[in-house]
Amino acid sequence: MALAASEHWRDEKINGVIYDMSPAPGYRHGIIDSNLHRIISNGLKDSLCLVFMENLDFKYHPEKNDDYVCPDIMIICDRKKLKGGFYSGVPKFIAETLSPSTAKRDKTEKKDIYEQAGVEEYWIVSPQGRSVEIYYLQDGRYILEQNYILEDDEEDEHYNAETVICLRAFPHITMELRDLFEKVD
What CATH number is associated with residue 37? Answer: 3.90.1570.10
Query: What's the total number of domains in the chain?
Result: 1
pLDDT above 90 (res 127): yes
pTM attached to this predicted model: 0.91
Least confident of 45-54, 61-70, 82-91: 61-70
185 within some domain: no
Determine the structural domain holding residue 161 and report its residue range.
Answer: 11-180
| Spatial CA neighbour of 170 closest among 78, 49, 81, 55 | 49
Contacts for 57-64: CB closer than 8 Å, 24+ residues apart: 57/12, 57/85, 57/86, 57/87, 58/86, 58/87, 58/88, 58/91, 58/94, 58/117, 59/86, 59/87, 59/88, 60/113, 60/114, 60/116, 60/117, 61/117, 62/88
Sequence-ordered list of residues with C-beta below 8 angstroms from that of 129, at least 6 positions apart, any chain: 149
Confidence of residue 5 (pLDDT cuts 50, 70, 90): very low
Query: Using 50, 70 and 90 to split pLDDT, how confident is the model at 2?
Result: very low
Is pLDDT above 50 for 100? yes
Residue 185: predicted pLDDT:
83
Q: Does some domain include residue 71? A: yes
* pLDDT level of residue 9 (50, 70, 90 thresholds): low
Q: How confident is the model at residue 6 (pLDDT cuts 50, 70, 90)?
A: very low
4 domain residue, yes or no: no
Q: Is residue 109 part of a domain?
A: yes
* Within a domain: 175: yes
Q: What is the pLDDT of residue 82?
A: 95
Listed in sequence order, the DSSP H helices in the chain are 27-43, 103-107, 109-117, 177-180
Residue 113 has pLDDT above 90, yes or no: yes
